[in-house]
Structure 1
Amino acid sequence: MANYHERFLKVIQFIESNLDTDLNVETLCDVAHLSKFHFHRQCSAVFGMPIMSLVRMLRLKKAAFQLAFRKEIKILTVAFNSGYESNEAFTRVFKKYFGMAPSKFRATPNWNRWQTHYDPVMRLRKNTMSNNDLFYVRVIELPEITTAAIEHRGSPNVLGATLAKFIEWRKVNRLPPSKSRTFNFIYDDPATTPADEYRFDIACSIERDMTDDEVGIITKKIPAGHYAMLKHKGSDDTLGEVIQFLFTDWIANSDFELRDFPLILERISFFPEVPEHEMMTHVYLPIQAKSSLSPKTR
């Protein structure tokens, strides 16, 4: 089955790179190097759904990101780009997967219903991740970085609403990702933290302190110091495994200990501007030398 997992991960990546094209079963069979008969059987075994249902689901995920975070794109345009000939057809299918109409999702993004459909894809990504010994970690030193941040407190499934608010604030204040670095501060593991206690900050670099009480923007400083840094290419679906590796295997076998600051993600490239498997995220774990040891690069 492991071999089939690798094949279907390639199928997912091909679909993600060609969401705006007319995908068909024959092309996807060629990507997987399987006959149509075996392809359909293995796809159902891996995902629990037909291959064209998987295509529809990945298109809807891109559509949902555009609805939530790219509000300059009209809903009808999102529908057409997702392969639907009318807003009514798009709304009907979208409600099946998200439990609400596209317009309501755009106003208050909620991913609760979606996760039950998407779990098979997430499991496949995790099952086909590189082994921990392939993770390349560097110890680097960062200067102090001033950021404007918004604090999300509550279920990670409604994080999208906070993110959408922050994106709009950045646009108003002319702080696009091209000129202002994008960060997330990770305080809690969503798998072990009660939803109402979950904490997550979204931030961007700024040259001077900035606040906005109406939106909830505050100034936060990333402290100067040493960080274990790992470059993660791929979907956020596998970020948890990368973070777990840093917090367990890597730190336990290093000459460092954790410093009193949350883990940091720096977003280098974003979905849906790039396919999910081409996303780039830099992960920074704040560290300091253990007692009587001086920092050294590993």
Structure 2
Amino acid sequence: MKRIYAGVDVGGTGTVIGLFDEQRSLLAKVKLETLGSNMELFGDAEAYMGMVANRIKETAASLPGSPSMLVAAGFGIPGQVNPDDGIVADATNLGWGRVPFARVMSELLQVPVRIDHDVRTFAKGELLAGAARGRSHAICLTIGTGIAAAIVIDGKLVRGGHNLAGEIGHDTVAGLTRSCPCGKVGCLETVVSGPGISRLAAEAGLQSWQSAGGMPTAEDVARHCSANNEQALGIYRYAAELLAEKLETAVALLDPEIIVIGGGVAKAGEPLLAPLRQRLHERFPWLQGQLSVSLAELGDDGALIGAFHHVFEG
């Protein structure tokens, strides 16, 4: 019987499930909406976990070839995630308060389950097989529904004293006045995130590519950037400058070799990275040619690889 492992990336918008064999090959990948098309699962962790567990089991059962046996599952999850006790707390983008995720999911799947923060999970994948491969000092960010960073020092992920290291999205920015789901006002992620970019685009009068009169998404703004739309380019430049302001202190303190950026907003590419790179190199001219600012290489597979390696160390 073939032994397989699940690696799962839980995002505020979508969840991606990957199934791997013991040779680290990705056998299947399934995407589903985290909260449902009408947000019907918002705050309902139990219903969400049941849905994901069922999909993992269905996907494992449908693999071609010899029968498969799920032996363990790893998850990357937003919020305050404690890998030691398996509890997720204050996952505001999911509406979760305090959820014993690893215990409940282990009971549903009948296999060991390990969890970590979603951005640290993404960073582990990029360290093992992506843009940060071979680097010992890195800052890895994901920009999607929210924004968070993972810090790598001497090749090790830093979690902090309360498993909250890297929550850059909830650092406030002077002059921003929009409320954040965390309860504060003016958090970085009210601008530097998918919803933040979307709001700025709507206020600028940019159109959706998907539906006439619809709310433009961050992907729409990226498409407008590709067409050299000055408003779209200005939105990404503004977001990059706010992010650079927050990263300046991190660069000064941590001296990373590389900053890796992933997530849906990062798909815009150079309209986001170029002004960020320029700002950081202006502030730290001695790091030009030594500090890389790069896109993640693995897409959503990075988080799947990282989650898989939460439970597979072979």
TM-score normalised according to structure 2 size? 0.29
- Which structure has the larger Rg over C-alpha atoms? 1
Name whichever structure is richer in helix by fraction.
1
The structure showing larger relative contact order (alpha-carbon pairs under 8 Å, at least 6 residues apart) is: 2
TM-score normalised according to structure 1 size? 0.31
